[in-house]
Every structure is written in C-alpha cells, then in structure tokens.
Structure 1
Amino acid sequence: MKAIIWPVYIDSKKTKHEGRKISIEHAVSSPKIREISKAAEKLDLNPEVDKNKSYSRSWWEISGRVTVDKTMPKKEILIKISNMIKGTRSK
C-alpha cells in the first residue's frame, strides 16, 4: 500500500485548514520535495517523486509530491520524515 506526502502536510508555515496534517511542534518550515524524498529513503519507504503535481487546495502552486510505502500509520510517517528533515537541517 502507498501513501502520498505533499509538502504542505509537514509545513509549519501552513495552517491545518490549508492542509498541514501534523502539529506545529513536529512540522518543518517550507519542506522541499528533495528533503522529503531523502528522509523517506533513509526510512526505507521506497519514495517516488512526482515533481509536476499540485495539491488540490492550492492547485495553482506546483509543489510536487512524494509517494512512499505505507509501512505504518500515515501520521507517524509524516512525523518521522519531518524529524529526519529537522535533523539534516541542524547539521
């Protein structure tokens, strides 16, 4: 089974209404597709990148998305990816 991860899901600059799925404490500022993909790779989630896709709530922005293997609940995947991005940014 696959899970789709849009950058907005873990973006601390977005509101829940705009599409953020995790709490501000776990979210990261303006996550990039490349960062999400690398984090998913480190978590062995077999990421696939679709660069030319737009999230439905902001259809005018081409943000891209990452499709990963759903090996745990989606919220858990989002938090782990977000924490991994935080870790790489702080280095």
Structure 2
Amino acid sequence: MLGVRIRNMEGELPNIKRWIVLYPVYINSKKTVAEGRRIGLSKACENPTCAEIGDCCSFLKLPFAIEIDKAYPRDFMQRGRVRVLLKKEDGTLCNPSITSRKSLMLRVAEMVPRHHGRTKKQEPASTSSGPSNKSGKGGKKKR
C-alpha cells in the first residue's frame, strides 16, 4: 500500500480497515472542539505528529499503521493519520490498560510531551533588572 507503514507485533497480514483511526488533531491543544479536538484542553498536547503518536503506540505494545496520504477533512493541510488495533479478532484487548478510543487518546496525549524527539522550548523568562528608558514620571503632560 502506498504511504502506509505497519508495525505489527504478531506477523500476520492485518486487516487495518477495521482498526480505529487517530488523527493528530484529536489531541492537539492548539485546536478547538469545532476544529476537531476530542479531549479536554488541559489533557491535550501541543502539535502532535503521526510519528510521535506511532512511537507512543509501540511503547504501549499496540499494533499501528501510519497512513501518510490521508488527511483530516476539517484540516486537510496537515497530512497523516494513525490506525491502531485495540482489540484482536477474538475480542481480547491488545493492551488491557487501554480499553477504549478515548483512553488511548488520553494516554497518547499524556506521553507525547515526554517524547524523546521533542526539544525543550520552555526557557525561563528573562526579567530586566537594568535601568529603563522611562523617566519615571507618569501623568498628564501640560500644554
């Protein structure tokens, strides 16, 4: 298949059409609910990528496939989505701690900020203790 990377733990050829779909928009804190975010703003992460979501799925021991040629309809400029297998053919969970699509989104959103590929963007705010250009006098100027 064009644009699909499959990481399967077992080895048989999977039917990925039945797997759940996870777009990065679902857990993006920069998006609104109207734009496609599906979890709470406090639990969402900033600008996740398909590769980061895929790495989180492999850490959780869940089979996943990254589809690069697909896009979210409301945000078609951001390409890619991740298909994840939660339940096997017999109905048993692949990872017993992940029971639903919502719990997967919450867990992935919690893990993405700690991803090894992310850089530290937060630097301490520098406060200027030196002299300022203002004269110090405030108030209305007389004419």
**Using CA pairs below 8 Å that are at least 6 residues apart, which structure has the higher relative contact order?**
1
- Does 2:78 align with 1:78? no
Aligned to 1:26: 43
Corresponding residue for residue 49 of structure 1: 66
* Residue identity opposite 1:42 in structure 2: F
Aligned-pair distance for 1:87?
A: 2.3
1:68 is aligned to 84
Contact 1:52 1:62 in 2 (8 A): no
CA RMSD for the aligned pairs? 1.7
Q: Kindly state the Cα deviation for residue 90 of structure 1 after the two structures are TM-superposed.
A: 7.8
* TM-score, normalization by structure 1: 0.88
**Any idea what the Cα deviations from partners look like across 1:34-80, whole Å, max 9, x if unmatched?**
10000011111111000111101123x14200000124211100010
1:2 CA displacement: 1.6
Which range moved further: 66-75 or 14-23?
Answer: 66-75
- How many residue pairs get aligned? The number is 90
Moved segments of 4+, more than 6 Å: none
Distance in 1 of aligned mates of 2:112 and 2:37:
16
Aligned to 2:53: 36
SS at match of 1:31: coil
What is the SS of the residue equivalent to 2:32?
coil
Question: Which amino acid in structure 1 is aligned with residue 32 of structure 2?
Answer: T
Gaps of 5+ in 1: none
Instruction: State percent identity of aligned pairs.
Output: 32
CA distance in 2, matches of 1:29, 1:84: 12
Higher Rg of the two aligned structures: 2
Higher strand share: 2
TM-score w.r.t. the length of structure 2 is: 0.58
